[in-house]
Amino acid sequence: MQGKTIVLGVTGGIACFKAAALCSKLVQAGADVRVIMTESATRFVAPLTFQTLSRHDVAVDTFDEKDASVVSHIHLADSADLVVVAPATANIIAKMTHGLADDMLSTTLLATEAPVLVAPAMNVHMYVHPAVTANMQTLRDRGVSFVEPGEGQLACGYVGKGRLAEPEEMMAAIERMLNPAKPLSGLKVIVTAGGTVERIDPVRYITNDSSGKMGYAIAETAKRMGADVTVVTGKATAALPAGVKVVHVESTADMMNAVLSRFEDADIVIKAAAPSDYRPALRSDKKIKKKDETMTLELVKNPDILQTLGQRKAKQFLVGFAAETDNGEQYAMDKLARKNCDLLVLNDVTVPGAGFGTDTNIVSVYDKDGLVESLPQMSKLDVAQNLLSLVALRLNTRGGSDRHD
């Protein structure tokens, strides 16, 4: 971070104390930190705290121009290599989304062309409110990056998602943004994500648990590492990653066709989706009426996307996922061999922190010779970073050994 100017925007939340810790870490890492505080933020932490840590005046009032040779908010906006908003309240996120500029921070954010990293912190119900989620998705679509909040005890007394990420997590995200590695530059990557839907009738279907978070994290990371990324996604609840091509599908057959039509040109295919293994033998065009005490549903096997890709691959590097509940290593090695994968990522969905819908994962990566790497619990973005770094290394050293066990 030597020689980098980071504008740190601090908004009004109890998590301001973590922003002070972040400011200190950034300065220790060699960054030139310029702090902007909202009026509300100054009610939690005094500007003197950030002035002492950053060794610069703290900007609060848009009209408090200390240097007559520059316009402060424009100067800050132009000088930034990165703008970090931490904590980011629902209010500042809404201002950013709608282009409001009624204080020093929102005005600077509107004027800057630097990349922006937002670390939300708020009550769990506020975080999942449709207005807030829509605003964050709009910002993602514009290229704004986010550090996901943590889950746990909140200052308001609730337990849930909304706690500001730890300073170490924010530092890692900042380092990735300031010094992005591009080992996948020029490569075409296909990522499958989400669960597929197999219709029983117009209002009912069978599916698999999947939020899409792991696949979307892989797609976002691959994009950041320089790849041309296409996401083929089924049903998902996570926010779509920005800057990637997105193909929406419903059924397993739809997903297979979408992937196969793009497979020949792909360099890397990562199969992180949870497609349905079976589909109803008969699909009713009309809603099936409730009549008897029981109903028998006949299912037939769907095509196996990963196995088909393994049979057809030529130059492609193929990565599969296995979500298991027992005998994980045995099933992972069997799946890797049967489906001709280059790597197989195993996670035990019964382990807390590694199941469906979580923001974290715990995985082990296998190749034909066995365990390559075991990753402890970490965010899905960090899992994606580790996995794609391994893929890039394998592509550069095919035939060589890069085992970590």
CA 405 to chain centre: 27
d(Cα 326, Cα 314) in Å, to the nearest integer? 32
Tell me whether residue 23 is one of the annotated catalytic residues.
no
Q: Are 246 and 234 in contact (CB under 8 A)?
A: no
DSSP E strand boundaries for 257-303 = 268-271, 278-280, 299-301
Say if residue 303 carries a ligand binding annotation: yes
Contacts of 341 (CB under 8 A, 6+ apart): 306, 310, 318, 319, 320, 335
Is 268 marked as binding a ligand? no
Helix pair angle (305-312, 252-263), 10° resolution: 20
306 is in an annotated binding site: yes
Q: Which two tokens stand for residue 140?
A: 């993602």
339 carries a ligand binding annotation:
yes
Backbone CA torsion sign across 258, 262, 264, 268? negative
Is 254 known to sit in a ligand binding site?
Answer: no
* Bond from prior residue into 87 cis (ω within 30 degrees of 0): yes
Pair type for strands 145-146 and 116-120:
parallel
* Ligand-binding site membership of 305 (annotated): yes
Q: What crossing angle do the helices spanning 380-396 and 213-224 adopt, rounded to 10°?
A: 50
- Is 335 annotated as contributing to ligand binding? yes
Closest CA to 339 of 320, 322, 365: 320
Q: Which of 16, 23, 156, 341 is catalytic?
A: 156
Cα–Cα distance list, 310 to 2, 3, 272, 338, 369 (Å): 45, 47, 15, 8, 17
If we measure between CA atoms, which residue out of 365, 363, 367, 321 comes closest to residue 342? Answer: 367
- Residues near 166 by Cβ (< 8 Å), separated by ≥ 6? 18, 150
Instruction: Please tell me whether 63 is known to bind a ligand.
Output: no
HSE value, Cβ hemisphere, 13 Å, CA-based, for 178 = 22
Q: Kindly tell me the sign of the dihedral angle through the C-alpha atoms of 185, 359, 176, 83.
A: positive
User: Is 50 assigned to a binding site?
Assistant: no
Contacts of residue 395, defined as CB under 8 A and 6 or more positions apart, other chains included, come to 187, 267, 268, 317
Catalytic residues: 156
Residue ranges at the known binding site for CTP: 277, 287, 303-306, 321, 335, 339
